[in-house]
């Protein structure tokens, strides 16, 4: 079974209510590639409305940017996986570098979040990646492998198969730098080989691995042509319908 081609747009803390709905409307009414699964990830306040807009849309889904590790409780300001699912979210981003860096989320916590998502029928988009100092030290492969081993590699194979992975070279997020195609392929190929070691070849071949580091219309085609890159987790370029659509058409 061929791996899914995916472009997921992470809006982060951008777009007001009206702006967000206008962006989704533009995507909904545009000509989209039938073979590419497009995912929008608006702020949580927009989840229900966007989900309603995208009902019965083929290959266009809504995700959440984060979820809490508990089902419910006294966690002021937090949003749980069952709340997100009830609002219409189908997926959730977990482990984004900004959550790790700014909110101190470690691998053990992220594993708890993944388990919560899976328990409530949310498909995780699980992120991993190295900062600049690790890349410059040449220990990036060991660093990312450790992130996986301490988190999603703790899952049973049946649960791991439900996950989408996203490699984020942190040094290339919002900096204007982009991993060279050979750098992206090296890491994606390594991740797939580690899945073979942990689970098996079939699971590795079925797992979609996205690239998440300053992917834009100008470089998407080169990145998506790599044998182990199955799409992108898109930041800034997902905030403009034309750019996001151009990336989706890059396959």
Which residues form the catalytic set? 96, 168
Which residues does 32 contact at the CB level (< 8 Å), separation at least 6?
38, 59, 60, 245, 248
Contact 186, 225 (CB under 8 A): no
Do the beta carbons of residue 130 and residue 97 sit within 8 Å? no
Query: What are the start-end ranges of the E strands in 91-220?
Result: 91-94, 123-128, 164-167, 209-211
CA angle 94, 76, 83 (to 5 degrees): 55
Q: Quickly tell me which residue has 């080989």 as its tokens.
A: 193
Would you give the DSSP letter of residue 150?
T
Q: What angle do CA 63, 169, 251 make, to 5 degrees?
A: 60
Q: What are 13's two structure tokens?
A: 């803390």
DSSP E strand boundaries for 51-121: 60-64, 91-94
For residue 61, the cross-strand partners are 39
The SS3 of residue 14 is coil
Strand partners, 62: 40
Gap between the Cα atoms of 1 and 148, Å rounded: 24
């Amino acid at each position: 079974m061929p791996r899914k081609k995916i472009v997921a747009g992470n809006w982060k803390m951008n777009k007001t209510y009206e702006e967000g709905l206008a962006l989704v409307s533009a995507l909904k009414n545009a000509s989209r590639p039938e073979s590419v699964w497009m995912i929008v990830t608006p702020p949580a306040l927009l989840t229900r409305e966007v989900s309603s807009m995208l009902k019965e849309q083929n290959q266009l889904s809504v995700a959440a940017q984060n979820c809490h590790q508990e089902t419910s409780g006294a966690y002021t300001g937090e949003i749980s996986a069952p709340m997100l699912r009830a609002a219409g979210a189908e997926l959730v981003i977990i482990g984004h570098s900004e959550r790790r860096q700014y909110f101190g989320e470690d691998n053990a916590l992220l594993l708890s979040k993944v388990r919560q998502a899976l328990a409530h029928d949310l498909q995780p988009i699980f992120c991993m990646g190295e900062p600049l100092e690790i890349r410059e030290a040449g220990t990036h492969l060991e660093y990312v492998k450790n992130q996986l081993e301490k988190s999603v590699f703790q899952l049973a194979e049946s649960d791991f198969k439900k996950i989408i992975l996203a490699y984020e070279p942190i040094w290339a997020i919002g900096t204007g730098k982009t991993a060279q195609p050979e750098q992206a392929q090296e890491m994606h190929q390594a991740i797939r080989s580690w899945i073979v070691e942990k689970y098996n070849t079939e699971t590795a071949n079925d797992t979609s691995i996205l690239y998440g580091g300053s992917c834009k219309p100008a470089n998407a085609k080169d990145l998506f042509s790599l044998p182990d890159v199955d799409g992108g987790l898109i930041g800034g370029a997902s905030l403009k319908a034309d750019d996001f659509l151009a990336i989706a058409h890059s396959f």
